Amino acid sequence: MTKNGFRICALQGVLMILAGMVLAGFPLAFLVMEDVYGQNAPIAVGGDYRGWIMAHLEGLLNGLLVIALSGVTLIRSPMQHGRQAWLVPSILIAGWGNTFAAILAPALSVRGMAANADIANNIVWGIFTIALIASFTAFYGVISHLATKQVNEV
């Protein structure tokens, strides 16, 4: 991966972490305010603790995963331009898809783990499914890049 490809992925990874902190951290804090301390939250949030905790952690974990996957590709260079052309989008779709779906799920009071009759649930499930496919594609790209022996290696 080029330094510019890594820069793009690292920036997006940091933004994913921030999204998890802000977009899921505040709703989680509001639930704690109401349930534990009995104070009125500034806005009413849907979902439950489990969903908001998951969303809060998904931002952190997916952001770190995006940074790590793109970072390890810098160990070996050069990466074929064609591989980077699909690897960077795959990494970002996987990271943002999981982060966005995890935040959307408790906001809509759904889980999104399986398709059912609820349209909101199916939207979240669809985003998670797209992210899963992108994750496998990204892992394939990173593993194949790291496993390929370079011509000048001994």
Domain that holds residue 25: 3-147
CA distances from 25 to 35, 87, 142 (A): 15, 30, 31
Q: Is residue 86 part of a domain?
A: yes
Q: What is the pLDDT of residue 143?
A: 94
Q: Structure pTM? A: 0.90
Q: Is residue 116 part of a domain?
A: yes
Cα angle, residue 31 at apex, residues 30 and 37 outer, rounded to 5°: 85
Tally the domains of the chain: 1
Q: Is residue 66 part of a domain?
A: yes
Cα angle, residue 33 at apex, residues 27 and 38 outer, rounded to 5°: 140
Read off the tokens for 16: 């994913």
What are the tens digits of pLDDT across the range 34-72?
888 888 888 888 888 999 999 999 999 999 999 999 999
Q: Is residue 153 part of a domain?
A: no
Distance CA 125, CA 47 (A): 16
Q: Is residue 12 part of a domain?
A: yes
What are the tens digits of pLDDT across the range 98-131?
999 999 999 999 999 999 999 999 999 999 999 9
Domain containing residue 54: CATH number: 1.20.120
Q: Is residue 154 part of a domain?
A: no
